[in-house]
Amino acid sequence: MAALSRSLEYGRLKSKAVSARNYRVAFRSQSGLSFQANQSFTIELAQLQRSYLDLNCMYLQFEVQQTSAAADVSGARFDYSAYSMFNRITVSSAAGAVLEDTNYLNVYNSMLLQSQCSEEYQKGYGKTIGHAGQPGCAFGIDLPASDETPITICLPMLTGLATANRQLPLDVAAPLRFTFYVDDFKKFTVRKGTSALSDIKISNPRIVANITELSESTQVLLDQSLANLSYNINYTGIVSTHATRSEEGAGTYVANLAFRNSSINKVALIMQSQDRSADQATIENNHVISNRSTGGIKEISYFINGQRFPQQKMDLTHGVSEVWSENVLADRVLMDPTHHSSLNYSSVTGTIEGHAAVDIDGLRARIPTNHRNFECVNGRHTNLPTTLDHYVGAGTNAYGTFYSQLSLETFKSNMDGESIFSGVNALGSTFQCELVFGDDNNMKLDLYWFATVDKILSLDNLTRSWIVSD
């Protein structure tokens, strides 16, 4: 039977809209209105009949400033953005069941934004999330002192339930609670001058989201379509683990990763220098959240029950082409001409005497070292910067960026587009990472691994309680 073009299908009409209304709400903290470093706050969603929350479009909004007056501090900036503030987020039901618990999220979000967002994005919208928006700058905005007007930050939720493929029912027995944990301020701020850093204060945190309220007749139609089935929501969860490596030089390092999930889609490794001081006078020596380096690493591979992934180890002895290709494949942007990352800044600073504008070597020399990735081994400052300008990366102040992602997809599903796909089953498995370091590794390392896993959030139709399976 021949098929007509859509332009000639006159009998094909749009379905009528259901009876519903949409509005925006702000859920505020139940544990106070003001918070500082190493504290946490909890925001609980409401219980509303026939109402559904759009998880993809919610964001955390708050005001932030330093706790000291301008006369007492020389100023500070976020290390990359305001995402650096929160090292852990948990999602639980008011009944006590923990649905999500993600650690080191500030480290992961920094990598995620740099690999997924363009420099142009940071120069525009970036200030909304606390990025400085300056070309070639990895730092966030200036933090106002306590006697200055605080700034307003809006952080879209990037991971976990925010990736859900359906809206969240609010007619439940116990509403969901989001708990945000603030990291040590010395780990997510860098000072601009020689004075000590100041703690920060978060005021009036709230989750802003859109809610759809169905009419009674529309809700009846939805209930009839479900019959006795549960409300099932697919989303991508993040699980993490951490290890340290001492100053050992060349050799093989094997870490056991606590990943026990039925569908692991990809795994990411982020490395940082462990040489970080708790002393306020020297803490700016290390660009912490977004400071990464090669660390002298030469090979990367993973083992699941003794099987190596990838079958041929990622080899860095002759450049980083394999690692970079695997990163692009893991993000599924290999043939996406619109994709941009901000890992390699393209800005050029100043002029270099004796080099013409068209001279490639001269152009390269005018791009600060810290804007060219995988070139620095230590990834940390080796002398004492006293102003923000010292972070541009010259000579002994150079620092680098390193992260590695590996896709573990086996096949994609036709059921739900590209949001659902099948990863590697690691239930009851031994999951290991093998790293081989070269002779130029002479520093202690913090190593973070993150795995993205398929999860299902289910709301039982009878008990109206939440259950998570993965």
Enumerate domains of the chain plus CATH numbers.
Answer: 19-469 (2.70.9.10)
Helix, strand, or coil (residue 173): coil
DSSP 227-293: TT--EEEEEEEEEEEEEEE-S--SEEEEEEE----S-EEEEEEEEEE------TTTGGGS--SS---
Query: What's phi and psi for 8, nearest 5 deg?
Result: -110, 5
What is the reported pLDDT for 256? 94
Which stretches of the chain drop beneath a pLDDT of 50?
Answer: 277-278, 280-285, 413-417
Interatomic CA distance for residues 116 and 108, integer angstroms:
12
Residue 405 burial (C-beta neighbours within 10 Å; 0-12, 13-18, 19+):
buried
Tell me which DSSP letter residue 443 carries: S
Interatomic CA distance for residues 444 and 248, integer angstroms:
8
> Using alpha carbons only, what angle is made at residue 97 by residues 94 and 101, rounded to the nearest 5 degrees?
105
What is the reported pLDDT for 13? 73
> Using alpha carbons only, what angle is made at residue 43 by residues 56 and 23, rounded to the nearest 5 degrees?
50
What is the reported pLDDT for 370? 61
Cis peptide before 310 (omega within 30 of 0): yes
What is the reported pLDDT for 281? 47
Tell me which DSSP letter residue 117 carries: S
Q: What are 273's two structure tokens?
A: 């220098």
- Which residue is it, tokens 């409401």? 46
Identify which of 174, 191, 186, 182 has the alpha carbon closest to the alpha carbon of residue 155. Answer: 182
Identify which of 322, 304, 306 has the alpha carbon closest to the alpha carbon of residue 314. Answer: 322
Q: What are 309's two structure tokens?
A: 């992934």
| CB distance 248 to 437 below 8 Å | yes
DSSP 366-406: TS-GGGSTT--SS-S-SS---SGGGGG--GGG-----EEEE
Interatomic CA distance for residues 451 and 240, integer angstroms:
6
Interatomic CA distance for residues 372 and 393, integer angstroms:
10
What is the reported pLDDT for 58? 94
What is the reported pLDDT for 363? 62
Interatomic CA distance for residues 125 and 466, integer angstroms:
35
Residues near 13 by Cβ (< 8 Å), separated by ≥ 6? none
What is the reported pLDDT for 335? 81
What is the reported pLDDT for 299? 94
